[in-house]
Chain A
Amino acid sequence: MISRVAQRCFWLGRYLERAEGTARMLAVTQRLSPDAGLDARQCWYPLVVVSGEEAAFTQRFGAAELADGEEVQRYLTWGEDSACSIRSSVAAVRENARSAREAVSQETWGAVNELHLWMVSPEARALYQDDRHLFYRHIRQNCTLALGYIQGTMLHDDPFDFIILGVMLERAGQTARILDVNHHAFTHLAAHQVIETAHWLSVLRSCSGFEPFMKRCRGPITSQAVAAFLVLEPDFPRSVRYAVNAALRRLKRIRHPAAFGQPGAASEERLQGLEQWVSRQHAEALQPGAIHALLTYVVEEIAAICNDAGRELLGEAPAAYAAAAQ
């Protein structure tokens, strides 16, 4: 397929996953804060960091506002100058879909366009004010609807593969970042057991992973158990391992069958390397002291893979990539 269109599909997938992820994290945190015994800053600060917005946020509002849940929500939901706000992400999904309009299905486009029109409508503002929970749910449902239409109404060939490649790389990066930031925030606290449990529960919920975790791990909810689940569980669709593996399968299809001489060799080799590396890890390695280095490796590898794919397959110049990836 045309490289530029592949690029739009890839970013459509990334922004769709990002919009859904941000809405999910905000919803979980918003419900967590009243009763968990965590102070407000412990609740909200990690979200800003996970979104990669710490510098921009503190510069604009001051570090004290990191404890202000309303300010953080407003910024991560509506912020026009933040590439990570839900509104910006949804607008980017829509813009990418619009410029790959002939590649995505009619139903996908309709769902994406309607979500965007809703986000800029007075109804969305009103629901945000009246019922925050329903507001985030509406966004999550419609992102999931779009993803469902992508799965169910598009030909499973190149455009589909590029969208899912984008979704899965974004997802792997998100899960790694959520885990890393929360670990970091936690190692500085001599936390009470109850608070720690509440905290890791919220991390699991941020990844839609609470019930799946309970099904697999009946033991106590410790940082190590949660980390092992979110990084290594092969059957959990938001674990790093699952997402990296799914991304690799898409990339292999894109380059299939006689890939010799076709573009994408470096991207595939690197993604393959990461996939093998993740599957070699053991739960014992995910000690609080070691996990930061591990997760940093994952996040950096994913950035490098996106960079390679952009150069090899998506027709991006290195400079253009840097700008697009903020």
Chain B
Amino acid sequence: MNAEGSLFSQYRIHPGSYDEVFAADGTPRPEFRSAIAALGTHTPEEFARQQRLAEMALLSQGVTFSVYSDQRGSEKIFPFCLVPRFIAARDWEKVERGLRQRILALEAFLDDLYGAQRVLQEMPLLRELVQGGKGFLPKLRGIKPPGGVRIHIAGVDLIRDPSGTFRVLEDNLRTPSGVSYVLENRLLSKRVVPEALDRARVYGVDHYPERLGATLRSVSPEDPDRSSVVLLTPGPFNSAYFEHTFLARNMGIDLVEAADLFVDGDKVFARTTRGARRVHVIYRRTDDDFLDPEMFRPDSLLGVRGLMRAWAAGNVALANAPGNGVADDKAVYPFVPDIIRFFLTEEPILEQVTTHLCARDEDRALVLERIGEMVVKVVDEAGGYGMLMGPQASAAERDEFRRRIQAEPRRYIAQPRVELSTCPTWDDKGARVVPRRVDLRPYVLNSRAGPWVLPGGLTRVALVEGSYVVNSSQGGGSKDTWVQKPEAA
């Protein structure tokens, strides 16, 4: 199998991690054997060449993200690896069911928070955290969103522990990004490793934009067939601008900036070359804070004055609904299993990561004592910023975090560091395939008819040896994710 000179002949799994492709004895897992054999026929030289060609193609097609820290607004390609990540049919079946359950429960939770607040009466600590946090927007209480949906698009981050169990690490219920790379990575796979893709019996992903369009139209206050849907972007300087253009193009809808919209009589209109045109659904990729200067930040230049009034009046659907941040707050995360039980009277299908809330006295004591084993996260930061990787941190860094936690316990949670699973990954410098840590962000679309999970997702990979950080802003890259169809299908 691992013939000399083939892509995987030098591959050694990383001890202590679950390897996504190779079993402990160093042979490929049976369900992936045929595809791995096909991939293995590529030589490392060929692979290095393909990688370079693909990078050039992405650059010339402008498949790039803007780098915030760079004053000149330079653009980079999102690093990627042509060796795919596999997910077996039986594993996916559970992930899919678990995600549908989770989104249904979180949807019910948000509806309750912005309505009767039954759940808060049952869970006093949750009440305290919700009311003290930034995510909950009390001004929105009592508003029912058009179409009855709040989480139209979700990206749920999963990791896989050493036993191979998928665990939810984080929910993204506001404006999750990255799905364009799922589709772009698949195009690369089709071009570079078509025979392996064919043998692996993989679900397609390119119908995502169509499903997204249908999801958006389903919540329109107007007949879906006569509805005008737009994608609202902060503009070309946003780091995800490529994705905004990608989705707008693939759905055939207008990409608008805030200045292109205005509100008159609680209805939203776009400024067009033929005058004002009514807008029924806005897929907004701007943060809540920048939606409407009337309701949120008065200094915002990005907002549309009066948008929230139009939404409250039921004249325009916003995807996702404003106020969702409370449900993907890291401080609320440890309560999600109970939220599932409360709203659905079911046991959670997907595991989570054990989480200590520093707001809880006994948890805090434990965290302060064992900070060297923990990953400490700030509840209102994203993108891997403001976190402490206990095992790798210096004594001074640990002390600094102890002080911060004691000063503002509500802002911190801590989790034992989970040894992430690894996946064979192309190492450009060494010109060989090596194990690197990965996570997975599947995407869930939630229409009036309920949640649907894209059979695939964004696999993010820590390209740097020894790193656990998969964020693209910090040395992470991505891989195509191959979800296998069941044998019989």
A6 in contact with B273 (CB, 8 Å)? yes
Interface centre among B60, B259, B273 (most CB of A within 10 A): B273
Bound-state CA distance A314–B260 (Å) is: 11
Give min CB distance, B240 to chain A, whole Å.
13
Across the interface, B275 reaches (CB within 8 A) one of A113, A162, A263, A314, namely A263
B60 in contact with A101 (CB, 8 Å)? no
A263 in contact with B273 (CB, 8 Å)? yes
Give min CB distance, A114 to chain B, whole Å.
5
Q: Is B248 interfacial (CB-CB < 8 Å)?
A: yes
Q: Is A164 interfacial (CB-CB < 8 Å)?
A: no
Name the residue of chain B whose CB is nearest to the CB of A158.
B273
Contacting residues of chain B (217-260) with chain A, CB-CB under 8 angstroms? 235-236, 241, 245, 248-249, 253-257, 259-260
Task: With A2-B272, A113-B61 as known contacts, state yes or no: A102 contacts B260, CB within 8 Å.
Answer: no
- Interfacial chain B residues near A313, Cβ < 8 Å: 273
B60 in contact with A3 (CB, 8 Å)? no
- What is the number of residues of chain A that contact chain B, defined by CB distance less than 8 Å? 27
Name the residue of chain A whose CB is nearest to the CB of B236.
A99
A5 in contact with B254 (CB, 8 Å)? yes
Contacting residues of chain A (287-326) with chain B, CB-CB under 8 angstroms? 313-315
What DSSP secondary structure best describes chain B's contact surface?
Answer: mixed
Interface string of A1-16 (1 = CB under 8 A from B): 1111110000000000
Q: Is B97 interfacial (CB-CB < 8 Å)?
A: no
B245 in contact with A315 (CB, 8 Å)? no
Bound-state CA distance A113–B64 (Å) is: 12
Q: Is B62 interfacial (CB-CB < 8 Å)?
A: yes
A98 in contact with B273 (CB, 8 Å)? no
A1 in contact with B254 (CB, 8 Å)? yes
- Interfacial chain A residues near B1, Cβ < 8 Å: none
B275 in contact with A262 (CB, 8 Å)? yes
Q: Is B429 interfacial (CB-CB < 8 Å)?
A: no
- Interfacial chain A residues near B253, Cβ < 8 Å: 102
- Interfacial chain A residues near B62, Cβ < 8 Å: 98, 101, 109-110, 113
B272 in contact with A114 (CB, 8 Å)? no
Name the residue of chain B whose CB is nearest to the CB of A4.
B260
Task: With A98-B236, A101-B255, A102-B245 as known contacts, state yes or no: A1 contacts B60, CB within 8 Å.
Answer: no
- Interfacial chain B residues near A162, Cβ < 8 Å: 273
A2 in contact with B256 (CB, 8 Å)? yes
B275 in contact with A117 (CB, 8 Å)? no
Across the interface, A114 reaches (CB within 8 A) one of B60, B236, B275, namely B60
Bound-state CA distance A106–B61 (Å) is: 8
- Interfacial chain B residues near A106, Cβ < 8 Å: 61, 249
Across the interface, A102 reaches (CB within 8 A) one of B255, B271, B274, namely B255
Bound-state CA distance A106–B260 (Å) is: 23
Bound-state CA distance A254–B255 (Å) is: 20
Give min CB distance, A9 to chain B, whole Å.
10
Q: Is B291 interfacial (CB-CB < 8 Å)?
A: no
A3 in contact with B248 (CB, 8 Å)? no
B254 in contact with A3 (CB, 8 Å)? no
Q: Is B3 interfacial (CB-CB < 8 Å)?
A: no
Bound-state CA distance A99–B259 (Å) is: 14
Q: Is B301 interfacial (CB-CB < 8 Å)?
A: no
Q: Is A264 interfacial (CB-CB < 8 Å)?
A: yes
Count A/B pairs, Cβ under 8 Å. Answer: 68
Q: Is B307 interfacial (CB-CB < 8 Å)?
A: no
- Interfacial chain B residues near A102, Cβ < 8 Å: 245, 248-249, 253-255
- Interfacial chain B residues near A114, Cβ < 8 Å: 60
Q: Is B270 interfacial (CB-CB < 8 Å)?
A: yes
- Interfacial chain A residues near B256, Cβ < 8 Å: 2, 4
Name the residue of chain A whose CB is nearest to the CB of B259.
A4
Bound-state CA distance A1–B272 (Å) is: 5
B245 in contact with A101 (CB, 8 Å)? yes
A3 in contact with B271 (CB, 8 Å)? yes
- Interfacial chain A residues near B270, Cβ < 8 Å: 2
Bound-state CA distance A276–B259 (Å) is: 37
Interface centre among B59, B62, B235, B256 (most CB of A within 10 A): B62
Give min CB distance, B450 to chain A, whole Å.
29
Name the residue of chain A whose CB is nearest to the CB of B270.
A2
Name the residue of chain B whose CB is nearest to the CB of A97.
B62
Contacting residues of chain B (70-90) with chain A, CB-CB under 8 angstroms? none
Name the residue of chain A whose CB is nearest to the CB of B60.
A114
Bound-state CA distance A264–B274 (Å) is: 9
Bound-state CA distance A162–B272 (Å) is: 13
Interface string of B271-289 (1 = CB under 8 A from A): 1111100000000000000
Across the interface, A117 reaches (CB within 8 A) one of B60, B241, B249, B273, namely B60
Interface string of B373-414 (1 = CB under 8 A from A): 000000000000000000000000000000000000000000
Contacting residues of chain A (85-122) with chain B, CB-CB under 8 angstroms? 95, 98-99, 101-102, 106, 109-110, 113-114, 117
B60 in contact with A113 (CB, 8 Å)? yes
A254 in contact with B273 (CB, 8 Å)? yes
Interface centre among A5, A106, A158 (most CB of B within 10 A): A5
B254 in contact with A264 (CB, 8 Å)? no
Contacting residues of chain A (142-173) with chain B, CB-CB under 8 angstroms? 158, 162
Bound-state CA distance A6–B254 (Å) is: 12
Bound-state CA distance A224–B274 (Å) is: 43
Bound-state CA distance A117–B74 (Å) is: 12
Name the residue of chain B whose CB is nearest to the CB of A105.
B249
Give min CB distance, A85 to chain B, whole Å.
18
Task: With A98-B62, A99-B235, A102-B255 as known contacts, state yes or no: A3 contacts B272, CB within 8 Å.
Answer: yes
Give min CB distance, A39 to chain B, whole Å.
41
Bound-state CA distance A262–B256 (Å) is: 21
Bound-state CA distance A3–B257 (Å) is: 11
Bound-state CA distance A109–B255 (Å) is: 16
Task: With A99-B236, A113-B60 as known contacts, state yes or no: A4 contacts B271, CB within 8 Å.
Answer: yes
Interface centre among A98, A99, A102, A262 (most CB of B within 10 A): A102
A101 in contact with B273 (CB, 8 Å)? no
- Interfacial chain A residues near B61, Cβ < 8 Å: 106, 109-110, 113
- Interfacial chain B residues near A261, Cβ < 8 Å: 275
Bound-state CA distance A108–B289 (Å) is: 35
- Interfacial chain A residues near B236, Cβ < 8 Å: 95, 98-99
Bound-state CA distance A99–B241 (Å) is: 9
Give min CB distance, A149 to chain B, whole Å.
13
Bound-state CA distance A314–B236 (Å) is: 18
- Interfacial chain A residues near B259, Cβ < 8 Å: 4
Bound-state CA distance A315–B274 (Å) is: 11
Bound-state CA distance A2–B259 (Å) is: 11
Q: A3-B271, A101-B255 are in contact. List 13 more A-B contacts (CB 8 A).
A: A1-B254, A2-B270, A3-B260, A4-B257, A98-B241, A98-B245, A102-B248, A106-B249, A110-B60, A113-B61, A117-B59, A263-B273, A315-B271
Q: List 24 A-B contacts (CB under 8 A).
A: A2-B256, A2-B260, A2-B270, A2-B271, A2-B272, A3-B260, A3-B271, A4-B260, A4-B271, A95-B236, A98-B62, A98-B245, A99-B236, A101-B62, A101-B255, A102-B255, A106-B249, A110-B60, A117-B59, A158-B273, A262-B275, A263-B274, A264-B273, A314-B273
Q: Nearest 7 pairs between A and B by C-beta?
A: A101-B245, A102-B248, A102-B255, A102-B249, A113-B62, A114-B60, A3-B271
